[in-house]
A = this chain, B = another copy of it.
Amino acid sequence: MRLARPLENLIDELMKLPTIGPKTAQRLALYILRAPASDARQLAHAITEAKEKIAPCSNCGYLTDIDPCFLCLDNKRNSSVLCIAEEAADIIAIEKTGFNGRYFVINKDFNIMNDSDLEDLNLDKFKEKLASGIVQEVVLALNPDIEGEILGRYLAGIAGEYNIKVTRLAHGLPVGGDIEFADEITLRRAIEGRHEF
């Protein structure tokens, strides 16, 4: 079936997004074409604007449109507990549990097959925080998979150099799962049950 080229192009672009297959992409594209022109403009604008205005916080790596981000600016938080996570989506999920420490986001896909990935991680800010003398506990909030395990050992090694206690989220998270999709109660229990690494 031949489709109008701009329609085919839109379907192709939508299919690049996670969880969007060909059928869903076609459905979304046709919906966009039927919707008012202002809706399409707003969606296109929201994509461009978010991409332009949002960047990782220079202090913690969380995605923000102000720098430092509101999490870093919040002086009611407990700076002695530093939670380290792989991506901003994990922070969003952890914040919902009421956790009130500080964060550090790695913001980089770590591939177990690639040895140099660990060395390529930008951990300068993380080490700076450890060296400050304020942090008394590092909480590893890494996904419960092989990559998270290796990453955890690597980060625990660094924290060990500063003699800082390292904990990890309690088991209870389904192995192979993704922190960002855990329900709040499971994730809260995992935070409460964190133990020495």
Contacts and interface: CB of A to CB of B under 8 A. Distances in A.
Interface of A: 1-7, 9-10, 12-14, 16-20, 23-24, 26-35, 37, 39-54, 63-66, 69-70, 87-89, 92, 95-96, 180-181
A122 to B, nearest CB: 15
Interface of A, helix, strand, loop or mixed by DSSP: helix
Given A3-B92, A51-B40, A63-B4, A181 B23 contact: yes
Contact of A40 (B35, B48, B180): B48
Given A7-B63, A16-B39, A92-B3, A50 B27 contact: no
Contacts of A52: 6
Nearest to A64: B4
Contacts of A37: 51
Contacts of A95: 1
A17 B40 contact: no
A56 B41 CA distance: 19
A138 B94 CA distance: 59
B17 A31 contact: yes
Contacts of A33: 50-51, 54, 63, 88
- Top 8 nearest A-B pairs (CB, nearest first) are A40-B51, A4-B65, A44-B44, A10-B50, A13-B46, A6-B50, A10-B46, A44-B47
Contact of A48 (B16, B19, B41): B41
A7 to B, nearest CB: 6
B54 A4 contact: yes
B43 A47 contact: yes
Contact of A49 (B6, B20, B50, B54): B6
A40 B47 contact: yes
